[in-house]
């Protein structure tokens, strides 16, 4: 018997509880994926922090933005 068949045999109230729990599990998975992505981004930023400071120390931020806009 498949999971769908087993769920179909449950009462309406139990089916709703199963649906609610599945929704909770999906939300939990999304939160975990987002948390993992944020942690990876932070680690990458930490790794490039020193390098970025060296690269950008002689750069005028306003000129950089103006150059980007001109290229766009």
Structure confidence by residue, pLDDT tens digits, 1-13: 898 899 899 899 9
Structure confidence by residue, pLDDT tens digits, 13-44: 999 999 999 999 999 888 888 888 878 877 77
Distance of CA 71 to the CA centre of its chain: 30
> What's the alpha-carbon Rg for the chain, to the nearest Å?
25
Let me know if 54 is exposed, middle or buried by CB neighbors in 10 A (0-12, 13-18, 19+).
exposed
pLDDT tier at 72, thresholds 50, 70, 90: low
Q: Which residues touch 15 (CB under 8 Å, ≥6 apart)?
A: 7, 8
Contacts 24+ apart (CB under 8 A), 11-15: none
The predicted structure's pLDDT at residue 51? 61
Structure confidence by residue, pLDDT tens digits, 56-67: 666 677 777 788
The predicted structure's pLDDT at residue 67? 80
């Amino acid at each position: 018997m498949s999971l769908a068949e087993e769920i179909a045999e449950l009462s309406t109230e139990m089916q709703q509880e199963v649906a609610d729990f599945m929704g909770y599990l999906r939300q939990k998975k999304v939160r975990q994926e987002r948390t993992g992505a944020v942690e990876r981004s932070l680690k990458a930023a930490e790794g490039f922090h020193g390098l970025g400071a060296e690269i950008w120390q002689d750069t005028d931020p306003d000129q950089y933005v103006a150059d980007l806009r001109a290229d766009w």
